[in-house]
Amino acid sequence: MSRTDVQRKSRPPESEPPAAAEVSHSEGEPAVSYEATPSMAQYLEIKAANPDSLLWYRMGDFYELFFEDAVTASEALSIVLTKRGKHRGNDIPMCGVPVHRADEYLQRLIKKGYRVAVCEQLEDPAEARKRGAKAVVKRDVVRLVTPGTLTEEALLDAKTSNYLTAVFGSSPGAHASDPAQSRVALASLDISTGEFEVAEISALDLAGELIRLAPGEVLAADTLLADQTFVRAVEYSGGKTTPIPSAYFDSTAGTRDLKACLGVADLAGFGAFSRRELAAIGAVLKYVDLTQMGQKPLIHAPRRTGSACLFIDAASRTSLELVKSSSGDKSSSLLGAIDRTITGAGARELLARISSPLTDPLAIEARLDAVSCLLSNRRLMDDLRFLLRGTPDLARALPRLGFGRGGPRDLAAVRDALEAAGEAAAMLTAATGPLPLPPELQSIRSRLTAVPPSLASALDSALVDDPPLLKRDGGFVKDGYNADLDKARALRNDSRRVMADLEARYIEETGVKTLRVRHNNILGFYIEVTQLNAKPLMSPPLSDRFRHRQTMANAVRFATAELLETEGQIASASERALSLEQEIFASLAQDIGTATEALGAAAGALAELDVYAALASLALEQGYVRPITDQSSAFEIRGGRHPVVQQALAKSEGAAFIENDCVLGRGGAAAPPGFDELPDARIWLVTGPNMAGKSTFLRQNALITVMAQMGSYVPARSAHIGIVDRLFSRVGASDDLARGRSTFMVEMVETAAILNQATEHSLVILDEIGRGTATFDGLSIAWATVEYLHGIAKARALFATHYHELTALARRLDGIANVTMDVAEWQDTIVFLHKVKPGAADRSYGIQVAKLAGLPDAVVSRARQVLERLEKADRRPRVDNEGIDDLPLFSAARPRGAATANEPSAVEKLLTAMHPDELSPKAALEKLYELKALAEAQKKTKP
């Protein structure tokens, strides 16, 4: 796509010499010269209008590619590169893909980052011939296929949204002194479903928002694309960047186009949009208009995101493995562990909820009420899941029909989805017992019944049970629906019977028993009699009807006007039948278009119903409980479990997961009976050896928070969570070599982002801060970080560390408590109990863990010797007045020039050299002054 003018429609001449390759290419055909032919001129003109796309040039049953496009496509698709004729004295490279396999090849190109301009034949070759024997078929680009504008079922992941996102605003680098002042607006449209999201956020939050959206394509102006931070954020999210002119970001045009798409005169009913947001909306709608050649997409009312959702930055999303693991595997993620949905639309809705947990307790409680209702009515839950299992993806069928790319199965999808919607609504109504349905399920029921019944009736009357994929194949309309269609089909299917009936009538009328109606490819249908029986047909009055056509050695052939007319009807019957089916298809698609809003609402209701039933099934299967969410500062999880690890253990080993409690605030509530043993503090310092389960414990509490605020039951015995506004997790680290960052630098950047953004309503998960540098440096950073979280951010936090010196903070600061992972020692080894208990670890058990890992015995033995010597040399605590009296490592640090334990000090040396009996009073006084000076000097050198 051109940056200056994305699309210019071509206008080929009305009359041109015939194209040399109006047939599919095949090996062995003679080469044809394209030198200055109108056909090649047509191709070059259309290609010039689409320089940034691979041009798929429709020629008969193939999409052909020429010149550089052919070379590129042949390499990307692993198809044969051939050549066809010459252009300006050079061979023309060419390759092609058959039309019936176009989606397969298109998908491969899009996945590799290419964009494709699809150039179709706009008329039948027969129409072109009417303009003259040398006319060329009219062609033009009907669509630009890009990663963010896919609608075909074969090109999309049924369980994932495919957003086209426009980003407008200033990057963090634009305000170097205060990056937080940079603001960006995002407009994200999934044209395969019509879902539309709009938000204005801090540029610091952009990477996390892009990870959440996971857009297929990101639109931005050159000024923003020049910022490498932005480009890396897009790459991190897996999206492809597309530069577009700055002029596309026009708030006035955005307002106008959004009104047109929504069919309203005022946008006030959808909330107040900022100028940045309207500019981003304008860009995304302009891009869609250009790539879809003016066809308007189905767009639902824009959904505002931002403060209404729990913010999770990019690093935390990766660390927590919400929708995919660090290796890219979805099955090992939180989504993979809790997904029990049975429809593609339901899976997309669940993904959206995991990616965007709520921060409004009332909205969360409404979702939990819906899950509770289905959980308490097992039969209703099972019936709904059985019904939904065969429900098609209505949300994606509607846009395809709207764009004119739909087929008979999309019509059937609407029909079957409406049938399922009616049955689901009836189930919800019948299930209403002494208690009314919760508001969420009431809303779903009302949306399921909002579509006019006449539409479902019309589709059911018109369509066969199992229609073909393509409308050009015909055969999707029921017999008896349209009389003209039935007549055309009868003529097409029963031509032999029709001719047999005509033959019998002619025999009766002429009395010639040997008369036959026959057919060949030269004459078509004709009447044939033997030479002996031809005379009656050549004499009046029969000769007026039976016209002589051909005399053979033993037979004479005739024709009648009736026979020729019937032949014409038979020849055109298939075409007529197909034409009538196309008209019926268009009429039904138009009826669906008039009910788009209601159908979209029904599609959303079916997806939500699938999610609620799936979450209820999950809670029943795994023994999850309903959490309490409110605006308090509570964070009390009893018997918490890691949802992913628990299921993995059950599958692989059949082992039980060890439950653990976490109390970072009770919100004023009393502790449950039997659960008073753990401290209640806003920050827990978690110590214990490696492999003891610290990281699992940290992550599981973050994941329980996500599940609770998305409206799901949680893996715990009980959970009370005061709403978390921002969730930060820094567990594990790795080098970022592409950006020149070491592991420690990555750790510090992520820690800085946490400390700069955390609030008293945030939840912070930190593991091993400061371990990537020297001991004193790392301990200092960890110490200061904990103090900052406690005294300034005031966030709820879990801080895992191997710096046992940090545990002294629990004695100095009221809001900090120590807990440790319990282990048992047995026969010179350790057993991990994976249980959190009060207190601090007395050592790290690093050597024992190393032994379990398989280090050679000689290394383990030597390590023990070195450790013993280091511990003896380091146990010299000292108290001072700087507030760091509990830091043995610091107290062990001896200032430069200070005496060692075996070396006497200057004062000691002076006293040893003195002989008091030999000193006069004056000399003794001078020695006292000298001793005092040495003592003061030594005091100044102490740390």
**Residue numbers belonging to the annotated binding site for ATP:** 688-695
Question: Which contiguous run of DSSP H or E holds residue 630?
Answer: strand 628-630
Classify residue 463 by its DSSP letter: B
For residues 152 and 569, give the distance between their C-alpha atoms in angstroms, rounded to a whole number: 37
Classify residue 352 by its DSSP letter: H
Structure tokens at 273: 């949009």
Total residues belonging to the chain: 943
| Beta pairing class for 217-220 and 164-169 | parallel
Give the rounded distance of the alpha carbon of 644 from its chain centre: 20
Q: Cα-atom radius of gyration of the chain, to the nearest Å?
A: 39
Cis peptide, bond prior to residue 643, ω within 30 of zero: no
For residues 576 and 487, give the distance between their C-alpha atoms in angstroms, rounded to a whole number: 10
* Residue 330 near residue 324, CB atoms below 8 Å: yes
Annotated binding site: 688-695
C-alpha closest to that of 114 among 210, 240, 301, 224: 240
Q: Where are the beta strands (DSSP E) in 738-828?
A: 763-767, 796-800, 816-826
For residues 38 and 45, give the distance between their C-alpha atoms in angstroms, rounded to a whole number: 10
For residues 792 and 813, give the distance between their C-alpha atoms in angstroms, rounded to a whole number: 13
112 burial (CB, 10 Å; 0-12 / 13-18 / 19+) is: exposed
Classify residue 406 by its DSSP letter: -
Structure tokens at 789: 């979280």
Structure tokens at 385: 């899941």
C-alpha closest to that of 581 among 465, 466, 477: 477
Query: What DSSP letter does each residue of 711-760 carry, written as one string?
Result: T--BSSSEEEEEPPSEEEEE-----BGGGTB-HHHHHHHHHHHHHHH--T
Classify residue 791 by its DSSP letter: I
For residues 22 and 643, give the distance between their C-alpha atoms in angstroms, rounded to a whole number: 60
- Going from the C-alpha of 181 to that of each of 170, 250, 278, the distances in angstroms are 9, 22, 20
**Residue 256: CB atoms within 10 Å:** 14
For residues 64 and 21, give the distance between their C-alpha atoms in angstroms, rounded to a whole number: 10
Cα angle for residues 845, 846, 847 (degrees, 5° grid): 95
With a CB cutoff of 8 Å and minimum separation 6, the contacts of 774 are: none
**Residue 741: CB atoms within 10 Å:** 16
Q: Reduced to 3 states, what is the DSSP secondary structure of residue 832?
A: strand
For residues 406 and 593, give the distance between their C-alpha atoms in angstroms, rounded to a whole number: 12
Structure tokens at 14: 């009305």
- Going from the C-alpha of 296 to that of each of 146, 301, 403, the distances in angstroms are 16, 15, 7
Classify residue 346 by its DSSP letter: H
**Residue 84: CB atoms within 10 Å:** 23
Structure tokens at 414: 């609407």
Classify residue 88 by its DSSP letter: T
| 3-class SS letters over 184-252 | EEEEEEECCCCEEEEEEEEHHHHHHHHHHHCCCEEEECHHHHCCHHHHHHHHHHCCEEEECCHHHCCHH
Q: Where are the beta strands (DSSP E) in 82-202?
A: 82-87, 90-98, 116-121, 139-145, 164-169, 183-190, 195-202
* Residue 308 near residue 723, CB atoms below 8 Å: no
